[in-house]
Structure 1
């Protein structure tokens, strides 16, 4: 077997591996529906080298020539649609459909035309170059909106693929691509085309695979750091996201508020755990709406919640906690009435998250001992001595 045959077999095997990889991701992670676009790209793409082998090794030259072109055109057109799906962008249906239709019309128009001529080869490659350019545009749109370096890489590779399709006609006109489809399959041009195109498409596939795995890992981490009942961060999520606030170089004030729903056990015992869960979800909604948008809010467990406020003093935290307390009566007419006690603490030099929360938690118990439904401590004027010091 010559080099072109090996290149065809290699491309077919690589396409199959990508198709299996994307199918496996889809079966393993039900939320990753967009990977089916890339499963389709590489599953259909397998037909192209398979058809090229059919052109060379069978008598059905015309049939396999048609399936080779059609399968490659379809997988190249599906690529920008997959990019858009992966990035959450609007899919360019009109542009993709126009390229697909243009490719079919052009191929029908030049069928049986004089191969090895520049105009023929330019017409043949034009739909592929246009589809690659569309992929580059979609990838660039994602890269420019903060998609990350991998999207810039996909932009570059898609652009190179488009240039590759535009260069091929000149290579074919200069060195010959064969007078017939079978001659093409045995030509040096075919080896060049299969090898270089295969490398670029494999590179794009690897980048897409990395993007998909990056997204999968992001979802997995988010799920592990999220309280499933309220949708707020859990303790693990709070610790990871709060790390930047406790960087030794950080100088801005940070305040913590620990909230504890009053007599929550009575709600569970008197109304049932389903109602108790509804109260917790409603309170989480109150925290999201009443606290500043940049507040880091988490559920520590049970009926205990915490909010970390960056660039906020004890007085600012007190005002925020009072806003939450004031919103409690409107939490839901269908829910039992509930109040909340809150404790405050401001970060001190050398504080860790744990020490800050311990002080805030101490003030929460102080608020409960003082009669509940209140926020402690009340901020004092500068220089005044607080009437109560919570134990750490």
Structure 2
């Protein structure tokens, strides 16, 4: 097998393998539409290079036109997938305009006024413009991870390569009017460069998708499926991290424990579906009334916890009282469920487990005092001192 034929087969084969890889990843996480776009993107790359390698008995000019169309579609899908993954708005009109202009210019210099250099300029600068648009939009993302920064670098490399490619034509192909054949130096160089860049993009994308999937799985493992709050594991992990950050910055933190009163009666009388709706209703109330930086979790059953950074005991008591006095959690207007609260402020050197223990004691005191009320760790200490006196 000649080197030319090997390269002709290698590019579409690798692209097809990558398309299958992204398709399998999408099948595993079908909620991520951008992964499906990447699968179709590499399928288009495979089809485009396969058309270049074999004309299938069709007119060679038409085949080249269709091949470049497939590559432009692939770049459009790539840019759309990257921006969708980043949660950024996709300028589809602008991207499509770049692709349409490139194809119109390509068609003109194919049939009306044949010029190989002009065709290369039309396609490669069209691709470079689309990649530049995607890179500019990605650079405006408010939150960028290291893999996002790497993707920006890779996109920048692509912009530079595709904008410089016409000058490579002029260097290798004197005159630049006729299409170089498969054995030309230009064809070998550009195909090898395209293979290398496609693999670089694919590896970066695969790394990004894999990290996304891992992050999503971790989030799911730390989320209560009913209330959509943090579960006990997630609350403990993130709570310990938050306490460490606040301790390093010497900032106050308050823990609020909440427990629904007589919740078992709801399940016994109205069924578990009614109980689930009460849980969801109360969880939404805790979340909506807490500040954005707070951690809200369901520790299990009808017990909830809220960790409030930058908050002292008095402010924590006000938050708990606001939740309590907002009114009972209703379901179908057939019953009302109240809640009891225990509130503590972090003491020097205290960990989350110790805070939970003190807040639980305050919550227990609220239950003993008649439920539907807020008690703090400070109140318990005051009572103990009076009792000891």
Q: TM-score, normalised by structure 1?
A: 0.89
- Written as runs of structure 1 = structure 2, the 5 A alignment for 1:17-96 is 17-55=17-55, 61-96=60-95
Change (3 A) 1:328 1:180: same
- 1:148 match: 145
Query: Per-residue CA shift, 1:144-183, capped at 9, x if unaligned?
Result: x2122322322222222222122222221222188654x4
Cα distance between partner residues in 2 of 1:252 and 1:224: 29
Aligned match for 2:168, one of 167, 171, 178: 171
Structure-1 residue corresponding to 2:155: 158
Q: How does 1:130-279 map to 2 (within 5 A)?
A: 130-142=129-141, 145-176=142-173, 180-181=178-179, 183-247=180-244, 249-279=248-278
- The range that moved more, 242-251 or 275-284, is 242-251
Structure 1 residues 164-205: Cα deviation after superposition (integer angstroms, max 9, x where no partner):
122222221222188654x43211101111111221222122
SS in 2 for 1:388: helix
TM-superposed CA distance for 1:58, in Å, is 6.5
Structure 1 residues 84-93 or 225-234, which shifts more?
A: 84-93
Shift of 1:305: 0.8
Q: Give the C-alpha shift of residue 228 in structure 1.
A: 1.0
Q: Is the 8 A contact 1:255 1:344 kept in 2?
A: yes
Instruction: Between 331-340 and 68-77, report the one with greater CA deviation.
Output: 331-340
Q: d(CA) in 2 for partners of 1:348 and 1:210? A: 42
After the TM superposition, list the runs of 4 or more consecutive aligned residues in structure 1 that deviate by more than 6 angstroms.
none
Query: CA separation of 1:155/1:245 partners in 2, compared to 1, >3 Å: closer, same or farther?
Result: closer
Q: How far apart are residue 40 of structure 1 and its match?
A: 1.2
CA contact (8 A) 1:52 1:65 kept: yes
* CA–CA distance in structure 1, aligned partners of residues 38 and 217 of structure 2: 21
Counterpart position of 2:317: 318
Counterpart check, 1:298 vs 2:297:
yes
Matched-pair contact (CA < 8 Å) for 2:229–2:298: yes
* Gap runs ≥5 in structure 1: none
1:129 aligns with 2:128: yes
Q: Deviation of residue 296 (structure 1)?
A: 1.3
Give the count of matched residue pairs: 381
Quote the Cα distance in structure 2 between the aligned partners of 1:225 and 1:120. 53
In structure 2, runs of 5+ residues without a counterpart are none
Q: Deviation at 1:333?
A: 6.3
Quote the Cα distance in structure 2 between the aligned partners of 1:329 and 1:70: 62
Aligned residue in 2 for 1:105:
104
Distance across 1 between alignment mates of 2:156 and 2:16:
24
C-alpha distance in 1 between matches for 2:122 and 2:256? 67
Q: Distance in 1 between matches of 2:4 and 2:333?
A: 72
Alpha-carbon distance in structure 2 between the residues aligned to 1:294 and 1:320: 14
Q: 1:295 to 1:121 in 2, by over 3 A?
A: closer
* Residues 125/309 of structure 1: CA separation in 2 closer, same or farther (3 Å cut): closer
Instruction: Report how far residue 294 of structure 1 moved.
Output: 2.5
Alpha-carbon offset, residue 385 of structure 1? 6.0
Q: Give the aligned partner of residue 388 of structure 1.
A: 384
Q: CA deviation at 1:379?
A: 4.6
Task: Give 1:289 shift.
Answer: 2.6
Mapped partners of 1:289, 1:169: distance in 2: 56
Q: Which moved more, 1:311-320 or 1:60-69?
A: 60-69
TM-score, normalising length from structure 2? Answer: 0.89
Cα contact 1:233–1:297 (8 A) shared by 2: yes
Identify which range, 255-264 or 130-139, moves more after superposition: 130-139
Whether the 8 Å contact between 1:318 and 1:379 is mirrored in structure 2 is no
C-alpha distance in structure 2 between counterparts of 1:249 and 1:123, whole Å: 57
Report the Cα offset of residue 283 of structure 1: 0.9
Hey, what's the Cα distance between the residues in 2 that align with 1:29 and 1:123? 37
> Take 1:158 and 1:251, find their aligned partners in 2: how far apart are those partners?
42
| CA shift in 2, pair 1:268/1:60, >3 Å | same
272-281 or 95-104, which moves further after superposition? 95-104
SS in 2 for 1:147: coil
1:238–1:298 Cα contact (<8 Å) kept: yes
